[in-house]
Amino acid sequence: MIHIIGAGTSGLLAARLLRDYDPIVYERQSHLPRNHEAVFRFRSQKIFDACKIPFRKMTVRKSIYYKGYFYNECNPYLANLYSRKVYNSIGDRSIWNLEPEDRFLTPIDLSERLAKGLTIKYGVDALTEVPFVNDEPIISTAPMPVLMREYGWPNIPEFKFKSIWAVTLIPRVPIDVCQTIYCPDLETPYYRLTLEPSRFIVEYIEHGIPGSFESLDEPLKILGLNPSDFEGPPSVKEQKYGKIEEIDEEIRLEFMYFMTREHNVFSLGRFATWRWILMDDVYEDIFKIESLMKSEGARRKYTLSQSHAMRYSRG
* Degrees to nearest 5, angle at CA 285 with 115 and 18: 40
Residues 150 and 199 placed together within one structural domain of the fold:
no
- For residue 185, being part of any structural domain is answered with yes
Residues 94 and 179 placed together within one structural domain of the fold:
yes
Gyration radius of the chain over CA positions: 20
Choose the weakest-confidence range: 6-10, 131-135, 302-306. Answer: 302-306
At 36 the pLDDT is 58
Residues 187 and 96 placed together within one structural domain of the fold:
yes
Contacts of residue 22, defined as CB under 8 A and 6 or more positions apart, other chains included, come to 1, 2, 119
At 313 the pLDDT is 44
Contact between 175 and 195 under an 8 Å Cβ cutoff? The reply is: yes
Q: What is the pLDDT of residues 65-107, one digit of tens each?
A: 999 999 999 999 999 999 999 888 888 888 999 999 999 888 8
Residues 126 and 264 placed together within one structural domain of the fold:
yes
Q: How many residues are listed for the chain in this entry?
A: 315
Q: Could you give the CA distance from residue 238 to residue 227 in angstroms, rounded to a whole number?
A: 22
Higher pLDDT, 208 or 266: 266
Residue 288, SS3 per DSSP: helix
- For residue 308, being part of any structural domain is answered with no
Residue 303 banded pLDDT, cuts 50, 70, 90: very low
Residue range 44-52: average pLDDT? 87
pTM of the model: 0.85
Q: Could you give the CA distance from residue 67 to residue 188 in angstroms, rounded to a whole number?
A: 10
- For residue 28, being part of any structural domain is answered with yes
Q: What is the pLDDT of residues 236-250, one digit of tens each?
A: 888 888 888 889 999
Residues 213 and 115 placed together within one structural domain of the fold:
no
- N- to C-terminal Cα separation, the chain: 29
Question: What domain range includes position 197?
Answer: 56-105+161-244
User: CA 167 from chain center: how many Å?
Assistant: 16
Percent of the chain with pLDDT strictly greater than 90: 56
Residue 56 to residues 99, 116, 172, 174, Cα–Cα distance (Å): 19, 20, 20, 15
Domain at 60, CATH number: 3.30.9
How do beta strands 265-267 and 138-140 pair?
parallel
Number of structural domains found in the chain: 2
- For residue 152, being part of any structural domain is answered with yes
Residues 145 and 169 placed together within one structural domain of the fold:
no
Higher pLDDT, 216 or 229: 229
Q: Could you give the CA distance from residue 302 to residue 164 in angstroms, rounded to a whole number?
A: 39
Contacts of residue 185, defined as CB under 8 A and 6 or more positions apart, other chains included, come to 65, 66, 67, 81, 85
At 245 the pLDDT is 86
- For residue 45, being part of any structural domain is answered with no
Q: Could you give the CA distance from residue 157 to residue 101 in angstroms, rounded to a whole number?
A: 37
Contacts of residue 137, defined as CB under 8 A and 6 or more positions apart, other chains included, come to 2, 3, 264, 265, 266, 293, 298, 299
- For residue 51, being part of any structural domain is answered with no
- For residue 299, being part of any structural domain is answered with no
Q: What is the pLDDT of residues 117-173, one digit of tens each?
A: 999 999 999 888 888 776 789 999 999 999 999 998 998 999 988 888 888 999 999
Q: What is the DSSP letter of 298?
A: T
The amino acid present at 54, given as its one-letter code, is P
Residue 54 banded pLDDT, cuts 50, 70, 90: confident
Residue 267, SS3 per DSSP: strand
Residues 80 and 196 placed together within one structural domain of the fold:
yes
Residue range 51-64: average pLDDT? 92
Q: Could you give the CA distance from residue 122 to residue 95 in angstroms, rounded to a whole number?
A: 38
Residues 112 and 69 placed together within one structural domain of the fold:
no
Residues 257 and 129 placed together within one structural domain of the fold:
yes
Residues 195 and 239 placed together within one structural domain of the fold:
yes
Residue 304, SS3 per DSSP: coil
Q: Could you give the CA distance from residue 120 to residue 117 in angstroms, rounded to a whole number?
A: 9
The amino acid present at 40, given as its one-letter code, is F
Residue 293 banded pLDDT, cuts 50, 70, 90: confident
Contacts of residue 109, defined as CB under 8 A and 6 or more positions apart, other chains included, come to none
Q: Is the pLDDT of residue 16 over 60?
A: yes
Choose the weakest-confidence range: 20-29, 32-41, 219-228, 281-290. Answer: 32-41
At 75 the pLDDT is 97
Q: Determine the number of helices (DSSP H) and then strands (DSSP E) in the chain.
A: 10, 14
Q: Is the pLDDT of residue 296 over 50?
A: no
Residues 175 and 78 placed together within one structural domain of the fold:
yes
C-beta atoms surrounding 58 within 10 Å: 18
Residues 150 and 278 placed together within one structural domain of the fold:
yes
Query: Of 210, 227, 244, which closes a domain?
Result: 244
Choose the weakest-confidence range: 84-98, 204-218, 267-281. Answer: 204-218
Torsion of the alpha carbons at 278, 281, 283 and 287, rounded to the nearest 10 = -160
- For residue 275, being part of any structural domain is answered with yes
